[in-house]
Structure 1
Amino acid sequence: MARPVIWIPRHLSPATLERARRDYDVILKDQDTPGTAEEIVEMSARADGMIPCHSEQFTAEVAGRLDPRLKIIANHSVGTDHCDLKALKARDITVTNTPDVLNDATAELAFMLMLGAARRAVEGDRIVRSGGWDSWSPSYMVGKQVTGARLGIVGMGGVGRALGRKARGFDMEVHYHNRQRLPPDLEQGASYHETLDSLLEVSDFLSLNCPATPETTGMMNADRFARMPQGSILVNAARGALVDEDALLSVIEEGHLAGAGLDCFLTEPGGNQAFAGHENIVMMPHAGSATAKTRDAMGFCALDNLDSFFSGDDPEDAL
């Protein structure tokens, strides 16, 4: 029996590619660039499955043009806002993702952004690197203390819970808002808020860890920022669509927020250059899951889903 053919548009970890080639006939795109709509449609006639990333867009229009040969899209990501799930389901195409394996890596990066914004890391690094550190006083480089502060988490899924565990190591008071309250064993002492507005009012630091949906897109707007305490800090390691970037820039410039830590933006790649002139905004290029261990785990999770599907079982992470 011929082995299934798998198209991989991005250059995944070496361990992932080695395993994929062991078990499947792999078509790997030569250039590590996002697969275009035309490439996706073309490859659907040559492949039984795909391992795309968030950079490949499976819109309703693309889904309608896919060849019947394609049976499974095993995403190398936890988010699926790049997939029109309804349109793909109508074509009888199974879609999977890679939940949980990236929780700790993403939470680590969110905590780095929080600490960096709180302790003025961008400004301090620039001063030392440029040779501008020529004085000291008790009022020099004073920042915001993380230990003992109140952390608000929006979205208490795997990443949110991992962040809460790390925050407790800093003796932070953890609060959260979620679609529904967690059972006590998952809550781990965190305080639940039925509404986002209630959470905002007690958040010295606010971390966004929820998916981008029609309900959450643009939820952090001018009104919501105004509800946060004076001198608070926003962290977004989830999706850029959650934040009204103009509103965020305004509250930073006005001094209502002391800073922000951002790993995602409305425009990716590229980010928002209007933020670049503000050293109290710490930025990363959507690298939350970018550790070698997690990249291997994500790739293996996608391959596990393919293995299940082609063996006739339901993939564990089917959506």
Structure 2
Amino acid sequence: MPSKVYVTRKLPEEIETRLAEHFEVRSWDHEDQPVPREKLLEEIKDVDGIFCMITENIDAEVLDAGKDLKVVANMAVGHNNIDVEAANSRGITVTNTPDVLTETTADLTFALLMAAARRLVETSDILHRGEWGAWSPMQFTGQDVSRATIGIIGLGRIGETVVKRAQGFDMNVLYYSRTRKREKETELGITYRDLETLLQDADFVVLLLPYHSESHHLIGQRELALMKRSAVLINSSRGGIVDEDALYEALVNEEIWAAGLDVFEQEPVPVDHPLLTLSNVTTLPHIGSASVETRLAMAHLVTDNLIHVLDGKEALTPVY
């Protein structure tokens, strides 16, 4: 008998075909709606593996409901939606999808930086509303990216890849990481700063670190007050890293100049969220890895992990 796998979202046909070649597959057949919690708890009862997204909270309750569960394969690099410790203690393997989305997410991060710096979304909206008046010397002015100082918080794979894009714009690159990476300083031509100094010196502060208890609200009122009044904050990692109330106050009070956000603490973000009312906030619906090629590569890697684990082999990209 083939192993049973539950898929928590509708997938592209080529991925569904591949899964069906190896497993007995059941799925939540909706592309834009997460599987309801009650449905997830019911479906997981007799499956060997789950193909899940960041929208699913795979906690101890879910893991206990999955009495036959051997692998939780997450279609994301981040895995804060999964209680990894609880899974490992139950002998359940957790996997993610690193590497395949690095370039795509770095592209989006730098695009978001440029859009926020040059007010692209704000001014496009002005044009569409018919509010573009006569030219004036300081109309629609933004911040220069070229030769500015970028401070990257979190020098993982994506952070290193953003460095290369920044250097193409002759930017001065600072970084902060919990563990200093001296070999990368020489290899990439970047400079280490402690967190406070980086916040004070950077024109653009870019968050590219994983979310966990220690990074929760890493950027709050105190940190925002350290930044330049002309600074731009970019977050394409996880929403919980920024205290959104503090960010709103900092922007309204002109303590910093602008922000670019691809992620929020609550997703989808409520339409009445205060940050959405500000013209100096560029917002996106968590599209860091959203290219056709990358999302397919992520789904194939999830499938590969399921095949390996349920065939009794080692996972390709396990999370410990």
TM-score, normalised relative to structure 1: 0.94
Which range moves more in the overlay, 4-13 or 260-269? 4-13
1:181-192 to structure 2, matched below 5 A, reads 181-184=180-183, 187-192=187-192
Tell me the equivalent position of 1:306: 306
Determine helix, strand or coil for the equivalent of 1:234. strand
Runs of 4+ with >3 A deviation: none
Q: Which amino acid aligns with 2:96?
A: N
Structure 2 residue runs of 5 or longer lacking an equivalent are none
Question: How many Å separate the matches in 2 of 1:175 and 1:13?
Answer: 40
* Alpha carbons 2:204, 2:234 under 8 Å: kept: yes
**3-state SS in 1 of match to 2:151:** strand
Q: 1:111 to 1:90 in 2, by over 3 A?
A: same
Q: Tell me the CA shift for residue 183 of structure 1.
A: 5.0
How far, CA to CA, are the matches of 2:311 and 2:154 in structure 1? 34
- Letter of the structure 1 residue corresponding to residue 75 of structure 2: H
Kindly provide the CA deviation profile for residues 217-268 of structure 1, in whole angstroms up to 9, marking residues without a partner as x: 0110111011112210000011110011111111111112110000111111
Query: What is the CA–CA distance in structure 2 between the aligned matches of 1:259 and 1:229, rounded to whole Å?
Result: 11
In structure 2, what is the Cα distance between the partners aligned to 1:185 and 1:231?
Answer: 28
Q: Is the 8 A contact 1:75 1:96 kept in 2?
A: yes
**Superposition map of 1:62-141 within 5 A:** 62-63=62-63, 65-141=64-140
Matched, 1:41 2:23: no
1:183-222 equivalence runs, <5 A: 183-184=182-183, 187-193=187-193, 195-222=194-221
Q: Which residue of 2 aligns with 1:3?
A: 2
The residue aligned with 1:318 is 318
Unaligned stretches of 5+ in structure 1? none
Per-residue CA deviation, residues 126-155 of structure 1 (Å, 9 max, x unaligned), is 121122223112211111000111111111
Who is 2:276 aligned against? 276
Amino acid corresponding to residue 315 of structure 1 in structure 2 = A
1:123 to 1:44, Cα distance in 2 relative to 1, 3 A:
closer
- The one-letter code matched in structure 2 to 1:299 is A
- The answer to which of 125-134 and 169-178 deviates more is 125-134
Q: Does 1:149 align with 2:152?
A: no
Distance between the aligned counterparts of 1:68 and 1:253, measured in 2?
Answer: 51
The code of the aligned residue for 1:305 comes to: N
What is the rounded CA distance, in whole Å, between the counterparts of 1:25 and 1:143 in structure 2?
A: 54
3-state DSSP class of the match of 1:45? Answer: helix
1:156-176 CA-partner distances (Å, limit 9, x unpaired): 111111111111111111111
**1:69-97 superposed Cα distances (whole Å, 9 cap, x missing partner):** 11101111111101111111122111000
Number of the residue aligned with 1:233: 232
Q: Secondary structure at the match of 1:110?
A: helix
- The question of whether the paired residues in 2 share the 8 Å contact of 1:219 and 1:242 is answered with yes
Which residue does 1:287 correspond to in 2? 287
Whole-angstrom distance in 1 between the partners of 2:280 and 2:115 = 9
Q: Which residue number corresponds to residue 53 of structure 2?
A: 53
Structure 1 pair 183/302, CA: closer, same or farther in 2 (3 Å)? farther
Distance between the aligned counterparts of 1:139 and 1:71, measured in 2? Answer: 61
Query: Which is worse superposed, 222-231 or 26-35?
Result: 26-35
Distance 2:123 2:217 in 1: 31
Answer yes or no: is the 8 Å Cα contact 2:184–2:190 preserved in 1: no
Shift of 1:311: 2.8
- Matches of 2:91 and 2:40, distance apart in 1: 17
* Aligned equivalents of 1:125, 1:20: Cα separation in 2: 43
Q: TM-score, normalised by structure 2?
A: 0.94
Residue 185 of structure 1 deviates from its aligned partner by: 5.0
Q: Distance in 2 between matches of 1:196 and 1:184?
A: 19
Q: In the alignment, is the contact (CA less than 8 A) between 1:37 and 1:62 conserved in 2?
A: no
Query: The residue matched to 1:7 in structure 2 has which SS?
Result: strand
Paired residue secondary structure (2:20): helix
Q: 2 CA distance for matches of 1:29 and 1:100?
A: 27
Q: How many residues align?
A: 316
Using the alignment, how far apart are the partners of 2:301 and 2:101 within structure 1?
11
Counterpart AA for 1:120:
R
1:202 and 1:229 in contact (8 A); partners too: yes
**2:312 corresponds to which letter in structure 1?**
G
Match of 2:23, as an amino acid?
Answer: Y
